[in-house]
Structure 1
């Protein structure tokens, strides 16, 4: 199993919870939830019982349904059926794909109260009303989100732990990497941008070094997502499918805000609201909403009708861009990697930065203001809320501009700083150049996006 940051979150949960809560790992299909749950069980517990509700026989479901008031009988059934000896406080039960048997999720309340064992759940599309209708979500359940690999996890998978450490140290010291390490980090960043962070895609690349083979894996994942949309989308399935298919075209625009007219000329925001929430809840996309008044507490000022819609994984976005052909060759990927094939790199760069921010735990906000007066017209790619040293460590809004080329201007960032100066902390420019500090503005290479 690849090293994942989610593992540290699991360790914290076990230590801090001490059996008082169950933990739900939420995320899109194929991001590695089941893999990390089982690996955690193998390493940290004396024994574990893995119940995959996609495969569990009716008898296992019936035992849970009928024995919730007789847990001794339930545990006897599960222990013998799965051939696992149970040890108090040293056995973990994993309810995998728990959304396929919602009763198991509601039963967690009674199982946790019993106190003998620990409980870990994994779920995809778990937030959908269809999967939780009529089910009391237990207060004893905590949840964490798991995303595709970020760039640092990709480096770990590639065996580049020392480079990952060097990047972290350079960021903390506000000092550029040496030219040798900068070039290496930049090359691996570009590879990551094309491959993405889906573990199966990364594994195939490390096994074969063939981007064409990686593309086949990503196409399989995209087909799986389309099947999920049809199966779980309900009355919104058609709208969800339209939005999902339109994402590359929307991101290729200079102004990347999602325009519903491109999906349906008669579309109204309220008709598509649930479809956008469906995609967001299922972790297939990362929604970025406009914060009309940039203050700490950005969600209080969000304008849901004005948003950008990024793909949850940039590698999947790349495959969608080349989706007009049945097969994308290794040679074509290499041409893109080395800049021999003209592509809209701006949309890939902005998408992959959004992916790093979501994996780091940030909700996504941007700032956009249209005005007839040029001095008031501006758009800032992302807004983060972070501590600001020059304000005694208090939280401040930190604007982030993303640049895909080495030649650029920072007009919008300059206007934003001038207009909201007292609310602003550090300003960040992510660009394909080495690190440079300039007062309270920090110019970072793109490969440091995960550090923010």
Structure 2
């Protein structure tokens, strides 16, 4: 599977004077290890791969002197691989398992910058926050890997030409031919079921059956729950699991703002706030903060007390909610499909690097997403079908006069009076 992050990895490799050790962060099973090993095999003469969670012998070596020259000699002896500057990629996987290995990156940066050092961490944010790991600020470069977005999914489905046509239609704001439009909608509905987790996509590609996908999705969710037990205390892991399990119910409400009372009667931020932070740091949820003012810079107008939580992968939400595959694939009218559609859009926007915000005006109007692109503020409205009548976007436009706004729906491309009509399958273009 081709991933967009490969371009960033190549840019990192080709840096000379200012290259830092690299950390690829992201939720478990989004493909960090696979993409680093693939990158190493394609771009370097050899790869030295160390999993610090399973290779306890090498992990223990970091407990002593972490001078880079000493570590490099030991890694050569342990792996039988010659480590040569500019020719070898060293990968430290599951780096959250070893605080000393994380600290060692600082010294690799300062003393041996000629070596290519890459690390991957699934729960690095959790380890830093909960176990008070010191992070080598300014001494590492970080990239975040998300599940495959819809454009990457099209590539995995051998539909790269279709994604190119979608991009061309977006740039010109001209409708796709109806046959291509319908084909893209069909693939979009597939994606709502399968999601962007590599293992789920592989299961579908291998068998061609949607029936195999929930088995893999359940396994991923079980691994998430295992992490909650492993990287949190017993009491905390129960709260974290309760918050995570409440997400489908939270999104099913008319007001999708996260409410602690849905998690537990009498629930509060004091009781569950740390659990939300754990989920966010682990990368298994996407947090969308409320803003009351859509003015640049929108981050300073964040209302920290109000937010929505989406699942990190739309396929996991569809499976966890119990929504039938037939309903998703047929496009039948279903109230919860609105929540699934919103979650899908949040996932596409996050993968593009946007911080997620939604706008609310005195509880009279609410806009699904507000983006800042340079100095422009863009309102994004999400509709699950072709019915697009809505008051909230009009209120937003009247209030802030944005350069343009976007309405995502199942309608074809078009533009009128500063409003771009964009099909949901083209959310990756926004």
Q: Is the TM-score greater than 0.5?
A: yes
Structure 2 match to 1:127:
125
Deviation readout 1:243-266 (Å, 9 max, x if unpaired)? 100000111122211111111222
State the secondary structure of the residue aligned to 1:217: helix
Aligned residues of 2:388 and 2:409 also touching (Cα < 8 A): no
1:63 CA drift (Å): 3.4
Structure 1 counterpart of 2:370: 383
For residue 127 of structure 1, give the secondary structure of its aligned residue in structure 2. helix
- Is the 8 Å Cα contact of residues 12 and 19 (structure 2) preserved in structure 1? no
Quote the residue 1:416 is aligned against.
396
Please say if 1:9 is aligned against 2:8: yes
2-side partners of 1:230 and 1:297: how far apart?
A: 38
Aligned mate of 1:100, from 89, 97, 100: 97
* Contact 1:287/1:309 (8 A) holds in 2: yes
Deviations 1:70-125 (A, max 9, x none): x4443222112212122122211100000011111100111222234111010011
The alignment status of 1:240 with 2:220, answered yes or no, reads: no
Equivalences for 1:68-83 in 2 at 5 Å? 68-69=66-67, 71-83=68-80
Choose which of 417, 425, 428 in structure 2 pairs with 1:447. Answer: 425
* Number of residue equivalences: 427
1:46 has 2:33 as partner: no
Tell me the CA shift for residue 31 of structure 1.
0.1
CA distance in 2, matches of 1:411, 1:135: 48
Query: 5+ unaligned residues in a row in structure 1: which ranges?
Result: 324-331, 372-376, 388-394
Structure 1 segment 308-327 matched on structure 2, within 5 A: 308-322=308-322
Q: Give 1:331-342 correspondences, 5 Å limit.
A: 332-339=324-331, 342=334
The structural deviation recorded for 1:386 is 2.0
- Scaled by the length of structure 1, the TM-score of the pair is 0.90
1:405 CA displacement: 2.1
Asked if the contact 2:33/2:120 (under 8 Å) is kept, the reply is: yes
Match of residue 293 from structure 2? 293
Instruction: Work out the CA distance in 2 between the residues paired with 1:64 and 1:254.
Output: 51
Deviation at 1:273, TM superposition (A): 2.0
TM, length-normalised to structure 2: 0.95
Counterpart residue number, 2:187: 188
| CA gap 1:186/1:72 in 2 versus in 1, 3 angstroms | same
Deviation of residue 67 (structure 1)? 4.3
User: Does 202-211 or 263-272 show the bigger shift?
Assistant: 263-272
Looking at structure 2, the residues matched to 61 and 219 of structure 1 have their Cα atoms a distance apart, in angstroms, of: 30
Residues 17 and 359 from structure 1, CA distance in 2 versus in 1: closer, same or farther, beyond 3 angstroms? farther
User: 1:161 and 1:415 mapped to 2: Cα distance?
Assistant: 38
Name the Cα RMSD after superposition.
Answer: 1.8
Deviation at 1:340, TM superposition (A): 5.6
Tell whether the 8 Å contact from 1:171 to 1:451 is kept in structure 2 after alignment: yes
